[in-house]
Amino acid sequence: MDLFKLFSKKDNKSKNVAKERLKLVLIHDRTNVSPKFLEMIKGDIIKVISDYMEIDKDGLDIKITRTKSNTDNTPIPALIANIPILKMKDKTVE
């Protein structure tokens, strides 16, 4: 098992923490997106989605992250929203 440990990447190493923190902070620096701006988007998403389904508003998580572009491998920022659905509203069932 010890040998296996040698081969596995440990995520709790401080350099990995540094890298993850940097990735996140740079995405925000580069896109110039403030937490306030994200809150505004979040509010609007809740408004739109609420017409169609009941969602867990407190559980909604929205963030800017980095993903690879489809055409080449250049990293591009992406808006990721994780919206927990409690139940669908009748409106959507037709």
Partner 1 sequence: MSEVIVVTSGKGGVGKTTTVANIGTGLAMLGKKVVVVDADIGLRNLDVVLGLENRIVYDVVDVVEKVCRLKQGLIRDKKYDGLYLLPAAQTRDKTAISPKQMQELTTNLRELFDYIIIDCPAGIEQGFQNAIAGADNAIVVTTPEVSAVRDADRIIGLLEAKGLHNPRLIINRIRHDMVKRGDMMNIDDMIDILAIDLLGVIPDDESIVVSTNKGEPVVTNKDAMAGMAYMNITRRITGEEVPLLSLEVDEGVFTKIRKILFGK
What does the binding site for partner 1 look like in residue numbers (CB under 8 A)?
6-7, 10, 13-16, 18-19, 21-23, 25-26, 29-30, 74-75
Nearer to partner 1, 28 or 63 (CB): 28
Query: Any idea which residue has 């996140």 for tokens?
Result: 24
Nearer to partner 1, 12 or 82 (CB): 12
Q: Residue 10 Cβ, how far from partner 1 at the closest point, in Å?
A: 7
- Residue whose C-alpha is closest to residue 82's, from 53, 67, 60: 60
Local structure of 70: helix, strand or coil: coil
Q: Residue 25 Cβ, how far from partner 1 at the closest point, in Å?
A: 6
Q: Residue 65 Cβ, how far from partner 1 at the closest point, in Å?
A: 14
